[in-house]
Amino acid sequence: MEIYFTPKTVAVVGASRNPRKDSNHIVRNLLLNGSIKVFPINPFADEILGLKAYPSILDIKEDLDLVIIFIPPDKVLNVVQECVQKKVKAILIESSGFNEVGNFELFNQIKKITSQAGIKVWGPNCTGYTDFYNRVFTPFAPLGVIFKGIDILDFKGNVSIVSQSGMMAGGMMFQIVIGSTRGNYFRPNKILAIGNKLDINECDALEYIGNDPNTKVIGLYLEGFIDGRRFFNLAKKVIKEKPIILLKGGSSKSGSNAALSHTGSISTDENILNGLINQTGIIRVNDFNEFLETLTVFSILFQKNNQKIKIGNRVAVVTISGGAGVVLSDNIEKQKNLKMASYTEKSKIKIAKKFPKWMKTGQGNPCDIWPAIETNGAPIILDILNILNRDENVDLIILTMVSVSHREWDILSNKAFLDILKSYKKPIFFWIFGDYSQFDNLRGVFREIGIPVFTSIEMLTKILSNVVKYFSYTSN
């Protein structure tokens, strides 16, 4: 696997002179690295993007670490045979038209030839991979255009994603990278699209990123498993140090049929899959939004705490809105592995002193802090948070705040307030409402100090449940 991420010489078969063609984008993306020697292969061109073009890989005198193939499927076999003759180290086939459309004979011919030669094949029917640490970009999307104004070479995050769908991998990458510049999501490490899995499959990918020191959180979109036993044995080992978030496609009859025509995958029996997931501690999610939000929260938590993290399920809610506290309480109870914390008597007495004397209720959990703010000013929020941060019966804190820019009690942009929040050992989650134009900025500010921010209470509690599930598994 390592050769795919550290190649010195790469040939692109099917490279086009046309700047609008996908195969031209592959060459252009590889050149972002600056140190990879790229050889465009096109028998009808002399030069592509300032590089000498060659009719065939056999015309290149240098050894080749990697050959990327992006040509019609009926021409791929001949190029693969040339790769064997050339003794290249690895092959990436981005072309489609193989077993996903019933062309099993071609798929199996390539597998037989490369297996005998000892050459690993990534793909076919994929977009390859992006590695933000090693600066290797193989997709056929025009990254320079899509990320105009964004220095993607500075993106070095702690989340790696493996996707069986190439277009989904590309779309998620665009959403993540562009979103992260606006305060959303996370900075990625590696995004791997493995396609039809001729050689490189979900097990190889999981093992590689599981051993990657720069990957702290793993996301998987899979439609089937090549070797279920190996996969779940690997997952048991990896998950002790890194959470694995799985979005499994093809769980229904129609979804299973779609997976077969999409990547040629035969989906796993759902009952068997759920049993294996429960045994390994993998977090299974239901859609792409939950997938990305769960990855984001784990990314933030592991960014803030490099040491072993332990998180329990007792939740304290501190809210500026009584109504938000009610809805949060409802949603927390819907998640079977979460519960509202019961404060110690010592904490209850301390909190009660922060409220006006006429207030007989509301200082419990959820704690409606608006009367305390009116009596003592906005800094009282910190006093209450400090009490809960020291309360042995509290594992997590949810703070709800209104987003404003014109009130004296707007402490969300107060540096001293942020520094104190950053120092807390217990995880804090924010739910914000109010001035929508500030949401992205606030997410960015709090992400930097290790606090996830949500605008949906339902999503917040769902993701919190996922987080608690992981830490509950790893603490046993």
Half-sphere exposure of 216 (CA within 13 A, CB side): 21
What is the enclosing helix (H) or strand (E) of 318?
strand 314-319
Q: What average pLDDT does the chain have?
A: 90
Higher pLDDT, 188 or 306: 188
| 267 secondary structure, DSSP code | P
Range with the lowest mean pLDDT among 133-142, 268-277, 282-291? Answer: 268-277
In this predicted structure, what is the pLDDT of residue 147? 84
Q: What is the pLDDT of residues 106-154, one digit of tens each?
A: 999 999 999 999 999 999 999 999 999 999 999 999 998 888 888 877 7
pLDDT value, residue 260: 45
Q: Is residue 453 scored above 70 in pLDDT?
A: yes
Write the class of the CATH domain 157-306. Answer: alpha beta
DSSP 133-161: TTTEE--SS-HHHHTTT--GGG---SEEE
Q: pLDDT band at residue 81, thresholds of 50, 70 and 90?
A: very high
DSSP state of 33: S
In this predicted structure, what is the pLDDT of residue 468?
Answer: 96
Predicted pLDDT of residue 94:
96
Per-residue pLDDT tens over the stretch 368-420:
998 888 888 878 889 999 999 999 999 999 999 888 765 544 556 678 888 88
Q: What does the domain layout of the chain look like in residue ranges?
A: 1-125, 157-306, 310-475
Across 271-288, average pLDDT: 89
**Helix, strand, coil shares of the chain as percentages rounded to 5?**
45, 20, 40
Least confident piece of the model among 35-44, 98-107, 255-264, 332-341: 255-264
Is CATH 3.40.50.261 the right assignment for the domain spanning 310-475?
yes
Do domains 1-125 and 310-475 share one topology? The answer is yes
Task: Give yes or no for a cis peptide into 40 (omega within 30° of 0).
Answer: no
241-268 residue pLDDT tens: 999 999 998 664 554 444 444 444 445 6
- In this prediction, what percent of the chain has a pLDDT beyond 70? 92
Span 1-125 CATH architecture? 3-Layer(aba) Sandwich (3.40)
Write down the pLDDT at residue 264. Answer: 44
Average pLDDT score over residue span 1-21? 97
Is pLDDT above 80 for 339? yes
Rounded Cα gap, residues 141 and 190, in angstroms = 16
Mean pLDDT of 35-57: 97
pTM reported for the whole predicted model? 0.90
